[in-house]
């Protein structure tokens, strides 16, 4: 059985990495694609008050449960199903429910700090970094947090200045060096996305051809009879 192809997509908050991940998944011809969001793997702090949780640095690598992320991504790489956690960005808590993710031929995972952990990098067959200007990322983050997460503007700006921007410079930007492909201008770079999809399709075709050749028994050529 073929090992799934794992595509890791990283980039700063608001860079468009989730858009790239969705577009890549939609353009792939294989019907079997699983999508994983690293945001689901934030550490859980139910013992803290909401006000205390709001003050935590959610943009530092320590905010993520890398052990759980690795264990579940490793399970998918072995074609085992997982129960992916779900996260509530309003309460800053992991939800009681989870989402069942079945094994797939391609696994697409995105996250700001995806390439920081060596174990996760090693599981990714293709590593993509989505790049975008800081002002574009800030505008997108404000729009998302106001409309999708119901957060006040002053809280969004304060978090950006105190943790998002410093952590981006310290951890996210340096992780770009691990990428196989860098996508400039964010998630709407159609040409770059098409190139990534073409690369993935070629990898899938080569893997399938190799698997087929391993299944086909080799025909041993008989030696000609000895002359008398």
Determine the pLDDT at residue 207. 77
Angle at 87 between CA 86 and CA 91, to 5 degrees: 145
User: CA–CA separation, 69 vs 147, rounded Å?
Assistant: 28
Determine the pLDDT at residue 200. 87
Where does residue 150 fall: left (phi above 0), alpha (psi -120 to 50 degrees), or beta otherwise?
A: left
**SS3 for the chain, per residue?**
CCCCEEEEEEECCCCCHHHHHHHHHHHCCCCCEEEEEHHHHECCCCCCCHHHHHCCCCCCHHHECHHHHHHHHHHHHCCCCEEEEEEECCCCEEEEEEEEECCCCEEEEEECCCCCCHHHHHHCCEEEEECCCHHHHHHHHHHHHHHCCCCCHHHHHHHHHHHHHHHHHHHHHHHHHHCCEEECCHHHCHHHHHHHHHHHHHHHHHHHHHHHHHHCCCCCCCCCCCCC
Residue by residue, pLDDT tens for the chain (228 residues) are 688 999 999 999 999 998 998 898 888 877 789 999 999 999 999 999 999 998 899 999 999 999 999 999 999 999 999 999 999 988 999 999 999 999 999 999 999 999 999 999 999 999 999 999 899 899 999 998 898 888 889 989 998 999 999 999 999 999 999 999 999 987 788 999 999 899 888 888 887 777 666 665 544 444 444 444
Count of residues making up the chain: 228
Determine the pLDDT at residue 228. 41
Determine the pLDDT at residue 162. 93
Determine the pLDDT at residue 205. 85
Domains of the chain: residue spans and CATH:
5-205 (3.40.50.300)
Determine the pLDDT at residue 118. 97
Determine the pLDDT at residue 30. 77
């Amino acid at each position: 059985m073929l090992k799934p192809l794992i595509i890791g997509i990283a980039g700063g908050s608001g860079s468009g990495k989730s858009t790239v991940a969705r577009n890549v998944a939609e353009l792939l011809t294989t019907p079997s694609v699983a999508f994983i969001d690293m945001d689901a793997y934030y550490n859980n702090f139910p013992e803290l008050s909401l006000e205390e949780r709001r003050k935590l640095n959610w943009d530092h690598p320590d905010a993520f449960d890398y052990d759980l992320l690795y264990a579940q991504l490793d399970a998918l790489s072995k074609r085992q199903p997982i129960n992916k956690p779900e996260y509530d960005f309003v309460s800053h808590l992991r939800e009681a429910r989870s989402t069942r993710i079945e094994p797939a031929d391609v696994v697409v995972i995105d996250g700001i700090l995806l390439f920081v952990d060596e174990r996760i990098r090693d599981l990714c067959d293709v590593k993509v970094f989505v790049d975008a200007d800081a002002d574009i990322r800030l505008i997108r983050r404000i729009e998302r947090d106001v409309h999708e997460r119901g957060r006040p503007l002053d809280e969004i700006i304060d978090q950006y200045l105190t943790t998002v921007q410093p952590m981006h410079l310290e951890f996210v930007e340096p992780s770009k060096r691990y990428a196989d492909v860098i996508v400039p201008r964010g998630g709407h770079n159609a040409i770059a996305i098409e190139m990534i999809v073409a690369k993935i399709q070629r990898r899938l075709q080569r893997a399938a051809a190799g698997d087929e050749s391993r299944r086909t028994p080799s025909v041993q050529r008989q030696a000609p009879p000895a002359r008398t």
